[in-house]
């Protein structure tokens, strides 16, 4: 069974409709796929309908954007939570509002040096989507400022850039607790992806585990080999679920569906823990 538990649609920063992500997953030979848009479950319904129609199992999920007190970004995958849970919805709403305000401020700064305005960015945001830097990157590509998203992220949109603006995100320990309260299964996404920026100390893992962290996304292209060894050791020590996935974004990133996979045993553990929603089959 081929299982990929991390993908994005245009509800967040992917380039395909939720239904098209599911169709792409089927074409890629997957048996099970999770839709995990940033801070949003808006694609679940469309993805679920497509999954039933074409005969692929869908794990409804979400990727929660978090930040530690030291300012380190943490991404937390939530699987099979209740999408209407008040506490989780409130935190996600705060993050989404902050992302919008942050994006507007960044565009204002960029407009001083580049031919860019908010209307240019809005054209790349799907209705109801969570606005983020990828949409700004797409506008910069369209304006001919950079060749692709990757170039934008390593230059103009990096956290070291003068155009950078921070935004609110929940502490990862709080996010883990809220996902658990919502009946979901929290898994730390690409935890040692050092090329993305600073990564957390082992003490943060312990705090997240104490709060209910259920698993680690280990087989991911952005986790270096030495980091994976640490993660496997941690998973064994604390009996954490181990996952692997593509982090597929359509044409937005080079990541390909099914390039890393999750075992059926790990998926079974996720399903057994979840009480918020169910796999669509």
- Tell me how many domains the chain contains: 2
pLDDT reported for residue 128: 75
| Rounded Cα gap, residues 247 and 201, in angstroms | 23
**Residue 212 to residues 59, 146, 244, 277, Cα–Cα distance (Å):** 20, 42, 20, 18
Average pLDDT of the chain, as a whole number: 95
Question: How many Cβ atoms from other residues are within 10 Å of residue 94's Cβ?
Answer: 15
pLDDT for 279 beyond 90:
yes
Q: Are residues 12 and 72 in the same domain?
A: yes
Query: 162 in a domain, yes or no?
Result: no
Residue 11 — pLDDT band, cuts 50, 70, 90? very high
Side-chain-side CA neighbours of residue 267 (13 Å)? 23
Question: Mapping DSSP to helix (H, G, I), strand (E, B) and coil, where does residue 57 land?
Answer: strand
| Rounded Cα gap, residues 138 and 58, in angstroms | 28
- The model's pTM is 0.90
**Between β-strands 73-79 and 57-67, what pairing exists: parallel, antiparallel or unpaired?**
antiparallel
pLDDT reported for residue 241: 98
Query: 279 in a domain, yes or no?
Result: no
Residues sharing a CB contact under 8 Å with residue 198, sequence separation 6 or more, in sequence order = 70, 71, 72, 73
pLDDT reported for residue 278: 98
Query: 280 in a domain, yes or no?
Result: no
Residue 154 — pLDDT band, cuts 50, 70, 90? confident
Q: Are residues 235 and 171 in the same domain?
A: yes
Q: Are residues 53 and 106 in the same domain?
A: no
Residue 157 — pLDDT band, cuts 50, 70, 90? very high
Q: Are residues 111 and 88 in the same domain?
A: no
Last residue of a domain, one of 109, 126, 154: 154
| Rounded Cα gap, residues 145 and 6, in angstroms | 30
Query: 251 in a domain, yes or no?
Result: yes
């Amino acid at each position: 069974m081929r299982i990929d538990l991390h993908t994005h649609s245009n509800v967040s920063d992917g380039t395909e409709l939720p239904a098209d992500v599911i169709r792409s997953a089927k074409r890629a030979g997957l048996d099970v796929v999770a839709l995990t848009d940033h801070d949003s479950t808006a694609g679940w319904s469309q993805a679920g309908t497509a999954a039933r129609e074409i005969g692929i199992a869908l794990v409804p999920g979400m990727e929660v954007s978090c930040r530690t007190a030291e300012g380190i970004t943490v991404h937390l995958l939530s699987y099979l939570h209740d999408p209407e849970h008040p506490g989780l919805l409130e935190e996600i709403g705060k993050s989404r509002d902050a992302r919008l305000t942050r994006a507007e401020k960044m565009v204002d700064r960029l407009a001083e040096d580049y031919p860019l305005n908010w209307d240019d960015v809005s054209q790349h945001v799907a209705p109801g989507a969570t606005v983020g830097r990828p949409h700004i990157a797409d506008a910069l590509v369209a304006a001919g400022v950079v060749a692709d998203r990757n170039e934008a992220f390593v230059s103009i949109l990096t956290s070291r850039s003068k155009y950078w603006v921070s935004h609110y995100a929940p502490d990862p320990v709080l996010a883990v607790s809220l996902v658990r309260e919502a009946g979901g299964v929290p898994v730390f996404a690409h935890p040692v992806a050092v090329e993305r920026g600073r990564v957390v100390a082992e003490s943060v893992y312990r705090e997240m585990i104490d709060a209910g962290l259920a698993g680690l996304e280990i087989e991911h292209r952005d986790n270096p080999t030495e980091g994976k060894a640490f993660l496997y050791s941690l998973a064994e020590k604390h009996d954490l679920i181990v996952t692997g996935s593509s982090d597929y974004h359509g044409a937005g990133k080079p990541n390909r569906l099914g390039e890393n996979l999750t075992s059926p045993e790990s998926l079974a553990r996720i399903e057994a823990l979840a009480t918020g929603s169910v796999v669509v089959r």
